[in-house]
Amino acid sequence: MADPKNITEHKVSLDQTNLSKRWPSWLLFVGILSLFLIIPLVSLTNKDLASSLRNSPLPSDNSWISGELSPPHQIPDLNKNCDACHVNGFEVVQDDTCLECHAATNHHFDTATHDVERLESSRCASCHLEHETPLQIVRQDDQLCVACHSDMAETGVATTDLIDVDSFGSEQRSSKKNPHPSFKVSMLQPTGTADDTVWETLRVALKDAPKEQSNLIFPHDVHLNADGIDAPEGTRVLQCNSCHLNDDAGKLMQPINMVNHCSDCHTMIFDADAPGRFVPHGDPDTVLLTLEEYYSRQYLLTELGREPTSDEVRDFMLRRPGKSVEQRELQTQNLASPWGKAYSIAEEIFERTTCKTCHETSIDNSGKYLSKWRVNPIRLTTNWMPKSDFDHFSHKTFACASCHNATLSDTATDVLMPDLPNCEACHTGSRTHESKLPTTCVGCHDFHLDNQKPWGNSNTAELLLKNQKIRLTRSGADNTTTTRSQP
């Protein structure tokens, strides 16, 4: 029989039980430190060990991930292999590591003529933030551009045609002094003669009401007449997309050309009595030759009064003596008349009808060419805004006329590109509270420009430039440089 216990013999406090703060503290401290730091660190000394740990249920260096990889980087080579990019411990990811795959990434400006320290000292990862939320490896914020472009002089670009810009849409505040300027278009401009025309790209602001100088004569309003236009098969109502079709990428429009877009209606017929005969669309000399040849034949037929019989043709081929004298007698008439006819028709089509409907023509009496009538070459601008990344496909729910006021245009010199207010009807800056689509700079502009050298230091740049040349050769020449057109 036990004696009654004294209070000290009772366990009346948790301190007297087997509960402990000390050993669970040690267990958690050492456990977490070992499992999440020491073991993963040790595993990184050996690739096989690292791989085994990553594929085991134990925490590996994968547990250090601070956010998911962005979707483009979720590829087998990179997924889970942290050290594929994080090559050295306690060192930020180096550009060379990025350029191992992204060799074809171009610079933002010409590094040979500009020295912008702010950009030169930037790393790929300064802008391309990985493991972020949202999972977006390409920067979308305005600060990417505005940090430099709000004040180019301060940025270190003393002489530039670029206008300072720090805001878009109705986000102008007292601190925002440089709203997005009026759009500039890159318009082709001919210089030189009709036979040796040099096409230069002219940058001109839409607010300065530029005139296109394509040498084309074309009234949009006539073609878009709601009642239709006269076509060979009768009245035909044209829509914008009767001629203007998206390119394969859906961004720009396919180039306009005579064969696909005009020749259905604008047949090259030159004689009402010969509706099946056409002059060729092209070199004026060939046009003139075609006319001469056609009217020479007509002359012969008229003189003979009929088609030659097959016997007569055979006799000619056999060159029977005596017969040739008879034939020559037939030619005593005015042999110049076919030329006369051909010239009068040529004058008609070059100066008043067929050619003149669409082309500017001129006269060259130098005798250098068979045809004194010359046709000024036409070059239509295909990419008016090469510095923007506009996508027609994503705007397909809108009528063409909501941006391009073609129905009121009666001359081909009208530039039908919309200016900034047109875009601002729907788009606005990213930090406004309007009921419009918030749009940042990269919504329309690219950072890495196709016409610049590859990103990277001089050594890699040389190598990469070579890669890029191969790429450019494959994809065709760039369309913003000066080109020369020969008749």
Partner 1 sequence: MYQSIANYKQARYFWVATLLSAVSALAYYLHQPINSPNGGTWLGYTLGTVGALLIVWLMLLGVRKRNYRSNMGSVQGWTSAHVYLGTALLLIATLHCGLQFGYNIHTLAYVLMVSVIMSGFFGIYAYIRYPNLMTNNRAGETLAGLIEQLQKIDDRCIKDAKLAQLSGIVESAVAGCSIGGSWWQQLRAKDFSSMMDDNGKSVSNRNQEKIISELAEHLSQSQDSERSGLIQNLLANFAAKQTLLARVRRDIQIRGILKAWLYFHVPLSFGLLAALIVHIIVVFYYW
Nearest-angstrom CA–CA distance, 167 and 114: 24
With CB under 8 A as the contact rule, which of the stretches 58-66, 175-183, 309-317, 448-456 interacts with partner 1? 58-66
CB atoms within 10 A of CB 53: 20
Nearest-angstrom CA–CA distance, 459 and 444: 32
Q: Which tokens belong to 355?
A: 């050619």
Strand pairing class (483-485; 437-438): unpaired
Please pick, from the candidates 52, 74, 143, 191, the single residue that binds partner 1 as defined by CB under 8 A: 143
Rank residues 140 and 481 by Cβ distance to partner 1 and give the closer one: 140
Q: How far does Cα 339 stand from its chain's mean position?
A: 48
Please pick, from the candidates 48, 57, 76, 91, the single residue that binds partner 1 as defined by CB under 8 A: 91
Nearest-angstrom CA–CA distance, 169 and 13: 70
Nearest-angstrom CA–CA distance, 230 and 202: 36
Backbone Cα Rg of the chain: 38
Rank residues 136 and 186 by Cβ distance to partner 1 and give the closer one: 136
Cβ atoms 359, 376 nearer than 8 A: yes
Number of shown-chain residues binding partner 1 (CB under 8 A): 57
Specify the amino acid at residue 199: W
Which among 261, 258, 253 has a CA at the least distance from the CA of 417?
A: 253
Sign of the alpha-carbon dihedral angle for 219, 223, 225, 227: positive
Q: Reply yes or no: is the peptide bond before residue 24 cis, omega within 30 of 0.
A: no
Cβ atoms 437, 427 nearer than 8 A: yes
With CB under 8 A as the contact rule, which of the stretches 85-93, 191-199, 296-304, 476-484 interacts with partner 1? 85-93
Phi, psi of 469 (to 5 degrees): -60, -40
329 binds partner 1 (CB under 8 A): no
With CB under 8 A as the contact rule, which of the stretches 64-72, 98-106, 217-225, 259-267 interacts with partner 1? 64-72
With CB under 8 A as the contact rule, which of the stretches 133-141, 227-235, 394-402, 463-471 interacts with partner 1? 133-141
96 binds partner 1 (CB under 8 A): no
Rank residues 19 and 158 by Cβ distance to partner 1 and give the closer one: 19
Please pick, from the candidates 97, 136, 413, 422, the single residue that binds partner 1 as defined by CB under 8 A: 136
With CB under 8 A as the contact rule, which of the stretches 19-27, 207-215, 367-375, 387-395 interacts with partner 1? 19-27
Nearest-angstrom CA–CA distance, 30 and 195: 86
With CB under 8 A as the contact rule, which of the stretches 137-145, 363-371, 388-396, 446-454 interacts with partner 1? 137-145
Contacts for 419 with CB less than 8 Å, ≥ 6 apart: 182, 183, 206, 207
Please pick, from the candidates 27, 153, 245, 470, the single residue that binds partner 1 as defined by CB under 8 A: 27
Which among 116, 114, 85, 80 has a CA at the least distance from the CA of 99?
A: 85
Nearest-angstrom CA–CA distance, 396 and 250: 10
Rank residues 88 and 182 by Cβ distance to partner 1 and give the closer one: 88
33 binds partner 1 (CB under 8 A): yes
Please pick, from the candidates 57, 76, 134, 476, the single residue that binds partner 1 as defined by CB under 8 A: 134
Rank residues 90 and 458 by Cβ distance to partner 1 and give the closer one: 90
* Least Cβ distance, residue 427 to partner 1 (angstroms): 20
With CB under 8 A as the contact rule, which of the stretches 82-90, 165-173, 269-277, 316-324 interacts with partner 1? 82-90
45 binds partner 1 (CB under 8 A): no
Where are the strands (E) in 120-264, listed by range?
A: 184-192, 197-205, 229-231, 234-236
79 binds partner 1 (CB under 8 A): no
Q: Which tokens belong to 420?
A: 């900034």
269 binds partner 1 (CB under 8 A): no
Please pick, from the candidates 48, 57, 66, 310, the single residue that binds partner 1 as defined by CB under 8 A: 66
Q: Name the residues that contact partner 1, by CB under 8 A.
A: 1-7, 10-21, 24-33, 36-37, 41, 59, 61, 63-68, 82, 86, 89-93, 127, 129, 132-134, 136, 139, 141, 143-144
